[in-house]
Amino acid sequence: MVVPFPGGFWYNGDRMRRKALKLGLIVGLCLFVSGAESTTSVDPSLGITVNDRPVVQVKDFLIQNNGVIYLSVNNMFPKLGAKADYSPDLSIFFLSSRHVKITTDLKTATAKFAGAESKFTGAFWKDGKLYVSEDFITEAYARARGFKILINKPETVKNYQSAFRLPEKIKRNPVNVIVIDPGHGGQSIGAYPSEGWREKDLTLKIAIKLQQKLQVPGIRVMLTRYSDEEVTLEKRAEFANKFDGDLFLSIHANACDSESASGFETYFLSLNASDEDSRKLAMWENLELSGARESHSGELSGSGLSELEIILGDMAQSEHLAESEAFAKIIQTNLAMIMKNPNRGVKQAPFQVLMGANMPAALVEVGFLTNVHDRANMLDEKNQDKIVMILANSILGFRELKARRLGMDNEGGRPQGRPAQAGYNSNRPAQIR
């Protein structure tokens, strides 16, 4: 069985080896799509050292989409000279090793031994195997045995985990109100290739699916538009602020006069764009309602924003800048594991739709409607559902990271005595499948 808990889907060893090689990341992806689950063996391995001596290589591990590593009990502890056993209901985990017995309550993520106890992030069952978070080994088990235990990770794993770290300073509010912004609408058509969907239709379809995916307790999800209606860029931010949004995501599809342009990218707000292409894209989006652009590559006749408007918008987002960047990185990293088109990275640009939103905010371009391969990928229902699932789990992953940092229960933002756990409770709702 799989015990669900916040964070969503799992990364597993060599599931997508060829894809991962292209990405420079060799941990593969284990996705829950339409209720179907795929699992494979894991490669590369994690090296475990005990008192500075290499002892075992663990090949069976998973990485949750908030960056936490979970290791297989069956694959690891026998090599450490420890024997595992379980209670009949599988809620208690016993570990015996050289006259030391550790009793672990998987429901509360608490390990007890020799009159002491140690908390850890969590554990779960998957395919009949128990996986425990890495801090169970490096803290709970190490304390019980009186060892110094380290887990040596390949650079690819370290790089992946680094995408799931919040900045040191964050606003002390939980993420309970999510505002999804389907790009364009009404007379603002957006990207419109000679065949296929118009951007305004595609973004609305994805946004509605995303809202449905996020129907879990403790979360309120709102869209800036629910039909083919025109909503000004200013009104979108005002809407998010009016309902005290905690997180804002604007969904778009890209376009270019060159049909070879391809890929996905995620943006967060900045007064200065990352590059010229990012600057032009932001200006095209900002000018869409004014009709001030004639093509996707032609010269811009104006910015559509005064310098004062840009500065004020940048100031409004400044206190959320670090969190917005973290959110954008999570989206981009997760999308990279399923997308077949090029990874164009996380970028910055002065998008008006992100200005004035008093919350962490990001804008994602899921592909180029003007590219035949990107268009086919976005319009295919199965691929579209995968994109929706990735976006949903990115939102939940960010929410979980922040809840754990703030020591809050993810179901409503209630304070806890310790950080929120990726725990055992099968009633926890936040896993998206």
Place domain 10-162 in its CATH homologous superfamily: Copper amine oxidase-like, N-terminal domain (3.30.457.10)
Distance linking the first and last C-alpha atoms of the chain: 14
Can you give the pLDDT at residue 286? 58
Residue with tokens 């680094």: 162
pLDDT digits (tens, 9 = 90+) for 280-296: 665 656 566 444 444 44
Can you give the pLDDT at residue 433? 39
- The percent of the chain in helix, strand and coil, each rounded to the nearest 5, is 30, 25, 40
**Domain range 177-414, CATH architecture:** 3-Layer(aba) Sandwich (3.40)
Can you give the pLDDT at residue 162? 65
The answer to whether 10-162 and 177-414 have equal CATH topology is: no
C-alpha to C-alpha distance for 414 and 420, rounded to whole angstroms:
10
Contact 288, 232 (CB under 8 A): no
Can you give the pLDDT at residue 169? 66
Residue 390 CA: distances (Å) to CA of 206, 327, 397: 12, 13, 10
Contacts of 164 (CB under 8 A, 6+ apart): 65, 66, 67, 329, 330, 333, 397, 401
Q: In what order do the strands lie in the sheet with 69-72?
A: 10-12, 61-64, 69-72, 129-133, 123-126
pTM over 0.75: no
Q: How far is residue 330 CA from its own chain's centroid?
A: 4
C-alpha to C-alpha distance for 123 and 120, rounded to whole angstroms:
9
169: its two tokens: 């300073």
**Amino acid making up residue 64:** Q
Can you give the pLDDT at residue 257? 83
pLDDT digits (tens, 9 = 90+) for 64-104: 756 788 999 988 888 888 999 999 999 999 999 878 899 99
Q: What is the domain partition of the chain in residue ranges? A: 10-162, 177-414
The stretches in the chain having pLDDT less than 70 are: 1-43, 65-66, 156, 159-164, 167-170, 194-196, 270-319, 408-433
